[in-house]
Amino acid sequence: MRVAAQGSSDTAERILDIAERLVQTRGFNGFSYADIAAEMGITKAGLHYHFETKAALGTQLIARYSENFRHALEAIDQEADAREKLHRYAALYARVLRKDRMCLCGMLASDYATLPKPMKEAVRRFFDENEAWLARILEEGRKARTLRFTGPTHEIARTLIASFEGAMLVARSYGDAGRFESAANRVVAQLDGK
């Protein structure tokens, strides 16, 4: 990404906001710079000033989304009970779905074969970080006996992410966030140590 003038950071943020919404609703291959430019009322050259390429825009978009997700996980870490942390984690997905959007990295994963290499790496990093966080919470719950499961925590963490991402896709096709919430609650309930 080019370093733009300090006063243009608001424009760059608006570009990222629009691009995030477009990726979450259409996928990375479902929009162009022309879509963003039209919505903002600027030229495509104006977009290129902030993000030289769509790949640069996508990489910055993932970085921002990942950072926001990290902050959300840090807030969840303040909860005392591992089971409640898992419910709050699932609620992050539900909030996105209620806005008629999908997880940004889940949408990018569907376009994975066509993404530039830096974006592919960033998508994998997002999922790796989430798996590591979930594995830590699962181990915490197992030690406290608030969660019960068999097998390695990293496998259960992968299963949780796959379940939540898949449940989002199915719920989206029905236009019903309640379908996601029901599935997510069932998955977490299966880990209940009580």
SS (H, E, C) 33-93: HHHHHHHHCCCHHHHHHHCCCHHHHHHHHHHHHHHHHHHHHHHHCCCCCHHHHHHHHHHHH
Domains of the chain: 6-189 (1.10.357.10)
Q: What is the pLDDT of residue 5?
A: 42
Q: pTM for the complete prediction?
A: 0.91
Q: What is the pLDDT of residue 80?
A: 79
Q: Is a pLDDT exceeding 70 seen at residue 2?
A: no
